[in-house]
Amino acid sequence: MSELATHIVESIIGAPAFVTGGLLLLYALYRMARHEILLFGNVCSDSQGEDVPRFKYSFFIQNIEEVSFPIPLRVNIRDRRTSADDIEPLEVKVYAGPKHVVGGSSLSCTQHKTSVRESFFVFERLPPFDTWRLDCETESTWVELEIDTGDENRLIRKRLIVDLYPRRLALQAGHASSTAFKGTVMTPGIGILFLIILAVELIYLGSIGLINSTRETLHLVDFAFRPIPDCSVAAALLIFLWIGYRRIQRPVYPIMQGYLFATHIQHFMPCSDDSPKQDP
């Protein structure tokens, strides 16, 4: 193969490897920068001899970060009913301590004659290591919790830090498993380490290809691939990345409920005007 052809091959291989590694590294940093929480839920039967079975749902939201989530959160609790005749709002009790919380409810119907009841609660912020509990009783066999911060559909450059994960958890009664969990038991996860290792190795190999393809133009010395030195550099990168990963890795604390009394909710009544109104 001629020298020109070698330069072309090195450039073709080096540039995509370098760009791919850079994009993977940015994605890994984004995953590490987003604000992580734990979502946990359980459901149990609460019929007590009634003809129509009722279920008690409990959802837990725990901040596992050492800082507060900086923007307001809207927590939505919704269920599905097979009949749209019952227009009673879904009653939810919130245990989040002495906080200013605005709440409300809504009712909608689907094409299949199914009613969807929703109760929402707006919190000003999520303090560090705080745990909230939301309880509701309903005849529905499906209840979902969803957290809305108003930035879920924004571009990645606008939500690098304030992105929240996870945001949704659903519970279904009648299954063998009566609990659901979303989150991580170790932060950052081992997948982030593998992603960073892959990104760094691709950047390193891609930079070798780019340097070799332009060494004559830039008057650089020959930078051909040498197995022993290059493998030694790759091994050193792996060791330093592993040491750094172990230094920043920490376990996630288990969910603990610290609030025994229900939080007072300031109800929002959109039928009258757009301003929140205080309970009588």
Judged against a pLDDT cut of 80, whether residue 23 lies above it is answered with yes
Judged against a pLDDT cut of 50, whether residue 271 lies above it is answered with no
Asked whether the beta carbons of 106 and 118 are under 8 A apart, the reply is yes
Asked whether the beta carbons of 169 and 59 are under 8 A apart, the reply is yes
Domain range for 257 = 35-185+253-267
Whole-number Cα distances in Å, 78 to 132, 144, 150, 216, 267: 17, 5, 18, 65, 17
Judged against a pLDDT cut of 50, whether residue 45 lies above it is answered with yes
pLDDT digits (tens, 9 = 90+) for 106-124: 877 765 667 788 899 999 9
Q: Name the band, by pLDDT with cuts 50, 70 and 90, for residue 189.
A: confident
Judged against a pLDDT cut of 80, whether residue 57 lies above it is answered with yes
Mean pLDDT of 130-156: 82
From first CA to last CA, the distance across the chain in angstroms is 86
**Looking at the structure, do residues 81 and 140 belong to the same domain, yes or no?**
yes
Asked whether the beta carbons of 102 and 121 are under 8 A apart, the reply is yes
- Confirm whether 63 is domain-assigned: yes
**Looking at the structure, do residues 92 and 12 belong to the same domain, yes or no?**
no
Between 39-48, 161-170, 264-273, the lowest mean confidence (pLDDT) is in 264-273
Contacts of 196 (CB under 8 A, 6+ apart): 25, 28, 241, 245
- Confirm whether 88 is domain-assigned: yes
- What CATH number should be reported for the domain holding residue 80? 2.60.40
pLDDT at 275: 41
**Looking at the structure, do residues 43 and 21 belong to the same domain, yes or no?**
no
Q: Name the band, by pLDDT with cuts 50, 70 and 90, for residue 165.
A: confident
Helix or strand run (H / E) with residue 196: helix 190-214
> If you average pLDDT over every residue of the chain, what do you get?
78
**Looking at the structure, do residues 23 and 78 belong to the same domain, yes or no?**
no
Judged against a pLDDT cut of 80, whether residue 280 lies above it is answered with no
- Confirm whether 133 is domain-assigned: yes
- The sign of the dihedral angle between the CA atoms of 131, 137, 138, 139 is positive
- Please give the biggest Cα pair distance in the chain: 87
Asked whether the beta carbons of 138 and 79 are under 8 A apart, the reply is yes
Residue with more model confidence, 53 or 255: 53
- Confirm whether 203 is domain-assigned: yes
**Looking at the structure, do residues 19 and 142 belong to the same domain, yes or no?**
no
**Looking at the structure, do residues 209 and 116 belong to the same domain, yes or no?**
no
CA distance 76 to 90: 11
**Looking at the structure, do residues 106 and 198 belong to the same domain, yes or no?**
no
**Looking at the structure, do residues 257 and 245 belong to the same domain, yes or no?**
no
pLDDT at 279: 46
**Looking at the structure, do residues 156 and 102 belong to the same domain, yes or no?**
yes
**Looking at the structure, do residues 44 and 61 belong to the same domain, yes or no?**
yes
CA distance 71 to 147: 12
CA distance 16 to 203: 9
- Confirm whether 275 is domain-assigned: no
pLDDT at 75: 95
**Looking at the structure, do residues 112 and 170 belong to the same domain, yes or no?**
yes
- Confirm whether 151 is domain-assigned: yes
64 closest CA partner among 252, 198, 218, 278: 252
**Looking at the structure, do residues 12 and 70 belong to the same domain, yes or no?**
no
Between 75-84, 154-163, 202-211, the lowest mean confidence (pLDDT) is in 154-163
- Rounded to the nearest 5°, which phi and psi values hold at 35? -85, 120
153 closest CA partner among 164, 143, 144: 164
- Confirm whether 280 is domain-assigned: no
Judged against a pLDDT cut of 60, whether residue 184 lies above it is answered with yes
- Confirm whether 276 is domain-assigned: no
- When divided into structural domains, the chain yields a total of 2
Mean pLDDT of 16-25: 90
Judged against a pLDDT cut of 50, whether residue 172 lies above it is answered with yes
Between 152-161, 168-177, 238-247, 270-279, the lowest mean confidence (pLDDT) is in 270-279
Distance of CA 237 to the CA centre of its chain: 29
